[in-house]
């Protein structure tokens, strides 16, 4: 078998190699498999029932040293298994929210320059003082926690 005939065996008439096609097909099957396994897990972890059960197990979190958070600062922390945020607003008020977007569950971020909480996934925005959904696809506000600033820590409890 010479080099020309070998090239004919791995390329079809359009110049697309069979090996390349097989790589794309196998990659596609792996992606489909990962989606088939990962999506139900994601849905379970993000389901309201699972969230409430997980949140119900945790009633408060003590954040050591968080009382030193500067004005305009934000601290990301975990309330149980879920990302949450503590904001020390420039007017010296404190607020803590569940940082899971109410649309499809992405983690939201506080943008001090906008004084808003933004979800990068689909552009949803929330009021950084109340957690109210103000634009984009989020259907409801962020869950708010109670905040108690103590000497040496901040205690966050379920509202
Ligand atoms: S997941 Fe946040 S806007 Fe869609």
User: Which CA distances in Å does 31 have to 16, 34, 36, 46?
Assistant: 22, 5, 9, 21
Give how far Cα 122 sits from Cα of 86, 101, 103, 138, Å: 23, 10, 9, 9
Distance 11 CA to ligand 1 centre (A): 44
Q: How far apart are CA 46 and CA 38, in angstroms?
A: 12
Q: For domain 60-158, give its CATH number from 2.102.10.10, 2.40.160.20, 1.10.150.120, 2.40.50.100.
A: 2.102.10.10
Are 75 and 63 in contact by the 8 Å Cβ rule? The answer is yes
> Is 8's pLDDT higher than 60?
no
Confidence band of 7 (pLDDT split at 50, 70, 90): very low
pTM of the entire predicted model = 0.68
Distance 145 CA to ligand 1 centre (A): 21
Domain ranges in the chain are 3-45, 60-158
Closest ligand 1 atom to residue 136 Cα is 3
Ligand 1, residues at Cβ distance < 6 Å: 101, 103-104, 106, 119, 121-122, 124, 136-138
138 CA closest ligand 1 atom index: 3
pLDDT in tens, 73-120: 999 999 988 899 999 999 999 999 999 999 999 999 999 999 999 999
For residue 104, how many other CB atoms are within 10 A of its CB? 14
Pocket test for ligand 1, best of 121, 133, 139, 142 (most atoms within 8 A of CB): 121
Q: Which residue has the tokens 């933004």?
A: 118
Positive or negative: CA dihedral 19, 20, 22, 23: positive
Higher per-residue pLDDT: 154 or 10: 154
Q: Output the pLDDT for position 53.
A: 65
């Amino acid at each position: 078998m010479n080099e020309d005939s070998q090239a004919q065996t791995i390329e079809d008439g359009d110049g697309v190699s069979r090996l390349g096609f097989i790589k794309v097909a196998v990659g596609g099957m792996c992606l489909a498999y990962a989606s088939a396994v990962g999506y139900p897990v994601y849905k379970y972890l993000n389901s309201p029932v699972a969230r409430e059960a997980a949140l119900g197990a945790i009633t408060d979190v003590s954040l050591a040293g968080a009382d030193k958070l500067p004005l305009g600062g934000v601290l990301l922390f975990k309330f149980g298994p879920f990302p949450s945020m503590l904001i020390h607003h420039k007017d010296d008020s404190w607020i803590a929210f569940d940082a899971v977007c109410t649309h499809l569950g992405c983690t939201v971020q506080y943008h001090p320059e906008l004084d808003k909480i933004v979800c990068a996934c689909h552009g949803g925005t929330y009021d950084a003082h109340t957690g109210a959904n103000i634009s984009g696809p989020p259907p409801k506000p962020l869950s708010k926690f109670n905040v108690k600033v103590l000497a040496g820590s901040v205690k966050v409890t379920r509202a």
